[in-house]
Structure 1
Amino acid sequence: MPLGTTIHNIEITLGRGGQLVRVVGAVAKLIAKERKSATLKLPSSLGRARSKCWLGKRPKVRGVVVNHVDHPHGGGEGRAPIGRKRTRNPLRLSCIWKKK
């Protein structure tokens, strides 16, 4: 194979099946060859959660999956509808638009 060839589905040990670069669109590039081994440039691993943290991205927790006391969309058995039936008033004051 000439240098610079793009490769996918790479075996680490002969006969064990492809173990590297198996996802759709991922390719490794052949950068050096020796007798029975080769050096490959593998695709970037920026898909890991730790490196997303290095980029300053924080995880987002959906409000539906937390408890009702933690988020207005949370709580309920199974899949509850999003939100409360009425406007929430944390100070328990009477609202003008509230049904009586």
Structure 2
Amino acid sequence: MKTMRLEYPIAVMCRVFGVSRSGYYAWANGTLSPRAQADERLKVAIKAVHTQSRETYGPLRMQPELAAQGFEAGRDRIARLRRELALRCNPS
């Protein structure tokens, strides 16, 4: 769509491709949603707790640590972000 925007209006191309204009502009500007931004901040904190715990904390033990740092996140969200980061617990 970026290459064709000189030939066709963005509104027309969005209708043809079945995409909302606001969705197209959000994608084109590369802005992350507030939730995605919060996930990125939480990922940094998860990496830090993972390292500080000598890679032994799972989501259950990580949740209170993150809460003490001011992050509100459930176990499922922490588990999902750990999977995205490919973090695994090492048995001690």
TM-score if structure 2 supplies the norm length? 0.25
Flag the structure with larger Rg.
1
TM-score if structure 1 supplies the norm length? 0.24
Q: Which has the higher strand share?
A: 1
Q: Which has the higher helix share?
A: 2
